[in-house]
């Protein structure tokens, strides 16, 4: 399931600015990070992928941009939620978590 959803994230070309991704991505992290605390890391990653896909209306072009800039967009905008999600997914980057 994770691979299928992640495949949608890399399906198309896009050109959004990373700063335009910060607000929606931080919204996703604020909602999903506490809910995935204590889950198996693979399950936490799957929840993250599905939440991001839904937040961007499953738009392949936008999701490709998210994949390319997720860490840049969230590092300064919502560092606490980002760190919590990294811990929940047991990954070093959010990009790694959604691949």
The answer to whether 14 and 65 have CB atoms below 8 angstroms apart is yes
The 3-state DSSP class for residue 10 equals coil
Closest CA to 86 of 37, 21, 23: 37
Contacts of 31 by beta carbon, 8 Å cutoff, 6+ apart: 51
Instruction: List the chain domain ranges.
Output: 2-92
Count of alpha carbons within 13 Å of 11, Cβ hemisphere only?
14
What is the spatial distance between Cα 45 and Cα 18, in angstroms, rounded to a whole number? 21
For 57-71, how does the pLDDT look when each residue is reduced to its tens digit (9 = 90+)? 999 999 999 999 999
pLDDT tens per residue, range 25-47: 999 999 999 999 999 999 999 99
- Token readout for 76 is 């300064």
């Amino acid at each position: 399931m994770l691979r299928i959803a992640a495949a949608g994230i890399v399906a198309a070309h896009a050109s959004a600015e990373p700063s335009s991704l910060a607000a929606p991505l931080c919204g996703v992290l604020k909602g999903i990070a506490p809910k995935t605390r204590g889950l198996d890391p693979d399950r936490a990653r799957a929840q993250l992928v599905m939440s991001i896909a839904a937040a961007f209306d499953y738009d392949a072009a936008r999701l490709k941009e998210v994949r390319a800039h997720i860490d840049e967009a969230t590092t300064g905008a919502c560092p606490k939620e980002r760190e919590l999600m990294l811990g929940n997914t047991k990954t070093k980057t959010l990009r790694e978590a959604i691949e």
